[in-house]
């Protein structure tokens, strides 16, 4: 699977050689609900095909749809879905994202990718990552208040002590045993034999340093998400002392997920640790909005916020998570034109404003309805 965080940070959605195909659908994690997902996917692909055939020859249409049709028949893929699915396809692009939130069903062919559902997910305030660590291996997880899933580390991230140090192990007597091959679905298990404690500590420290550098470069920087350490207590001090990752939060979880009965139990413990920080961040934003509004440095009137957005005044924009206001924003004047969402390519005003704020170096935060300080779906905090 492709990474929403990494692709967004790399700007892979910014350029597309038309036609640009965008497909979104809600999916299900469990049987029997997930049986309907490939059927719905095929129907959406069919809608893309009908749109393509209005402008393109049959051979080109078939070439564009071929990887999507293959995905439709991939039974292993449909047995391991999450809560939502996004697929972006162009002549030189095929990206598939499993999402931890449901998304509205959509299939559209246009001159650019439709990425607003992905941007909303990226800007949601409750997202985080977890680094599960012991002396021999690391695991990465990504989640929100409702879901937590293990993710594959990027190619430059060492997953095990052997990956990181190889022949440079301090104790040459350490050996590695692997159980379960590539077909077994189990990760290798590494065991050290015969090393003295100080040598093992030295190797663990070097492994932790390598993991810290790689996770910062390949995951924390692209995502900007807070990172929680989940490890045995004896590993907390060493890792926090050596870490140079500014996204690593001071709180830690005193257990490795392998010691727990289920991923649900792990998610509950993680969210219990993350939630106070999440609530404090939202409360701080709401307080800043409330204190700045009487000074003319914040607003919730949509027309006013639109004008301030295009002039570059907005430092932070709060958007209500499930609110949509169909229409368009004039990027030069901020003038609003309202319509309905009957056409799949019609824009959403809130998303358009968020996109402009991001381009101008501001911050966009998608906030649950119950935490929004306004009734208009939007709250802007100004730079000046």
Are the C-beta atoms of 53 and 59 separated by less than 8 Å? no
Distance between CA atoms of residues 253 and 347, nearest Å: 42
Are the C-beta atoms of 208 and 238 separated by less than 8 Å? yes
- Specify the pTM: 0.84
pLDDT in tens, 91-129: 999 999 999 999 999 999 988 898 989 998 999 999 999
Collapsed DSSP state (helix, strand, coil) of residue 320: strand
Residue 37 CA neighbour count, 13 Å, CB half: 30
DSSP 232-297: -HHHHHHHHHH---TTEEEEEESS-GGGSS-HHHHHHHHHHHHHHHHHHHHHHHHHHHHHHGGGTS
Query: How high is the pLDDT of residue 181?
Result: 40
Distance between CA atoms of residues 87 and 102, nearest Å: 14
pLDDT in tens, 306-365: 999 999 999 999 999 988 888 888 889 999 988 765 554 556 889 889 989 998 999 999
Query: How high is the pLDDT of residue 339?
Result: 73
Are the C-beta atoms of 281 and 125 separated by less than 8 Å? yes
Query: How high is the pLDDT of residue 90?
Result: 96
Q: What is the DSSP letter of 137?
A: B
Are the C-beta atoms of 310 and 331 separated by less than 8 Å? yes
Residues 6+ apart with CB under 8 A from 182: none
Query: How high is the pLDDT of residue 129?
Result: 98
Helix (H) or strand (E) holding 298: strand 298-299
pLDDT in tens, 189-218: 444 444 456 777 889 999 999 999 999 999
């Amino acid at each position: 699977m492709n990474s929403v965080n990494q692709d967004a940070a790399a700007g892979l959605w910014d350029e597309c050689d038309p036609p640009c195909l965008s497909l979104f659908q809600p999916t299900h994690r469990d049987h029997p609900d997930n049986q309907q997902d490939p059927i719905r996917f095929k129907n959406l692909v069919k809608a893309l095909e009908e749109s393509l055939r209005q402008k393109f020859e049959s051979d080109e249409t078939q070439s564009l749809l071929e990887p999507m049709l293959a995905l439709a028949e991939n039974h292993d893929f449909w047995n391991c879905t999450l809560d939502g699915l996004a697929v972006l396809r162009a002549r030189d692009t095929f990206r598939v994202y499993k999402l931890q939130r449901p998304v509205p069903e959509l299939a559209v062919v246009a001159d650019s990718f439709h990425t607003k559902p992905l941007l909303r997910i990226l800007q949601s305030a409750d997202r985080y990552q977890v680094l599960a660590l012991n002396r021999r291996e690391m695991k990465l997880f990504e989640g929100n208040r409702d879901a937590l899933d293990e993710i594959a580390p990027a190619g430059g991230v060492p997953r095990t002590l052997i990956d990181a140090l190889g022949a440079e192990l301090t104790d040459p007597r350490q050996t590695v045993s692997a159980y379960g091959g590539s077909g077994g679905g189990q990760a290798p298990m590494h065991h050290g034999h015969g090393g003295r404690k100080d040598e093992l500590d030295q190797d663990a420290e070097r492994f932790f340093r390598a993991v810290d550098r790689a996770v910062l470069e390949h995951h924390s920087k692209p995502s900007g998400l807070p990172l929680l350490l989940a490890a045995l207590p004896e590993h907390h001090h060493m890792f926090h002392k050596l870490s140079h990752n500014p996204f690593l939060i001071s709180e830690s979880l005193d257990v490795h997920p392998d010691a727990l009965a289920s991923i649900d139990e792990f998610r509950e413990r993680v969210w219990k640790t993350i939630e106070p920080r999440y609530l404090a961040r939202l409360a701080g934003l709401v307080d800043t909005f409330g204190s700045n509004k009487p000074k003319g440095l914040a607003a919730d009137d949509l027309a006013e916020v639109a004008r301030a957005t295009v002039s570059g005044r907005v430092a932070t924009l709060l958007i209500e998570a499930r609110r949509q206001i169909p229409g368009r924003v004039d990027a030069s004047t901020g003038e609003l034109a309202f319509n309905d969402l009957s056409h799949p390519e019609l824009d959403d005003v809130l998303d358009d404003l968020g996109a402009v704020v991001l381009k101008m170096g501001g911050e966009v935060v998608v906030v649950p309805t119950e935490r929004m300080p306004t009734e208009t779906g939007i709250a802007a905090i100004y730079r000046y």
